[in-house]
Structure 1
Amino acid sequence: MPRGGQNHIADYTIPGRGLAQRDVLVVIDDSAAMANYRERLASLPALVDATFGRLDRGLLDLRIAVTSNDGILRRTPSMTEPFLAMRTDFDLARSTNFSRTLADEVGALVDVGTAGTGPSKLLDAAALALANDGGFRRPNASLAVLFVGATDDESSRDPDEYAAQIQATVVSALVPDAAPRFDAFVADLAHAEGVGAAYSIDATDYAPAIDNLRTQFKTILPGMCLTAADVAPEVPGGQYDCTVTALVRDQELVLPPCGGDDDLVCWRLQPSQSCDADPDALELEVPVFWFYVSYPTIRMQCVVD
């Protein structure tokens, strides 16, 4: 509960809209240039499992597909479709189209080898894979793309054309520090209303690249223009004394403020971009999957001036 002062209490009901859908495409260079990175690539399956496995437990309809320079979606012998699918329904029942762990399945798919003839044309590969996706892409799903390449892209067209064609919601590129075509693609992605970031393939830890895909699951709660007192104005970033709860399936769940160990289930107040009537108004950011539960109620109680 807030510490003293006045309380501003707001109750909102958000209509249910079905499960949040996310399609994740991983595009990996399979040329000889990747030989020195095979050991580091071995960390990707566990990172993907830790990141998207947690989101799956938070009500998510997820698909993961992998391709290399040929632009063909890869399959393991046990796969009947060219993608991994995992879904948690409103009753928390979990279903998949695979029998092993997500880490095991992803590990088999990303083991693309280094026998490709090159050069690296990962933007071409992504565009080709999405054009012949075997049912992977869904019209209402957001798209996250992870590029992994030891050299800069040498695809046939300008990066801005690929940004417009691929239409990704978020992109992480694990590429060399000097990769002007990937840098241009990431910059052009913003013009296509996406979010992108490049990370060094020489880094010892690839977790930030995966975390970038994860953080894009946050969204702004629409229609809420809030007032709250900054209880520690000397601390940068705004410090607010609030209690936030979500009513989901008749259970009241307390959401902690973001910044702790589990920043996928949290809330954050930030300056509003849409409350024109009040320049000091705040907006509430919460995990996107809360928006896809039938008729959740978000209650927020804050100390105000």
Structure 2
Amino acid sequence: MIRLLVLVVILGSSSAAFVGASETDSTLWEGAPEDAFSAHNRAIAHWGMGMYETAARDLESISSAYPKVVAFRLNLAMVLLARRHYDESLRELKETEIRTPNSPRVQYLFGRCLTGLNLETEAVQRFELAAVLDPGEPAFPLGASESLSALGRTAEAEKALRRVLVLRPDHGPALYRLARSLESRGQSEEARLLLDRFSALKKRQRTQAERSPYDDPLEPSPLPLPETGGLHWLKVDVVPEREDARAVVTIFSGRRTRRQAVPAGVLRLSLGAVKRVDAIRVDWPDGRHSYRIDVPSGREIVIKEVGAHVW
């Protein structure tokens, strides 16, 4: 195990990745005070650590206190879905759909809940609507293909899988599922070619996971935090499993977020006036992540890739 770097981090302005045009809309977070963002950050960190019951309890409390904040309810729906509480998740999704009827995330999550309840026909309709709202996301035809297959609509399921591969030719699960479907119908030559592609990608560790960015929790657009001469600081020692691994560190403090790619070396930044951060997340190259919650400034903490989680 190689200690790649020591990182001293500050909060400041940074760009964040968001999915879907509707999800950059500030109305999703309208009415949320600063202390609610801090509680929300800790809830999402609990979720990321696999502490679903704690995360659900925290998000239920936040959503009850601020019922008009759409993003809080939507993240609650997602953690309920992760716990397979499909009926409760659907209840929250119905509330959010009233406010955000054109959200591809809402339609996609409806599809996943309905799949969990074995309501495959309704699930297909939701996945297809999500695909209309965001045609470039492969998770939507992938979800539709699963429900179509369960309904015995094999030709349509294969068509949906081919759509996934148009959007992302190296999508391993789609390659494998389409190959097996074709093989079951006697189309062995095309099935073999697809399995060869899948095997080649797997050897190069380039197969795409099924997880979509729409499965990740909503995060608000970050606000800049003016630097004040390094009054407070935080040191994070990132320890990957592989020497050549790179990670991304994100620090959350209320509405303020700093996202920093981690190269080899030392980066010295300041927390400014912030004395405590709500959460620190390290995203590892294989899609896993590690969290630390409620970290005071002036500390040096070590975050190892060993024991990291998957959403």
Q: Taking structure 1 as the reference length, what is the TM-score of the superposition? A: 0.29
Report which of the two has the higher share of helix: 2
Report which of the two has the higher share of strand: 1
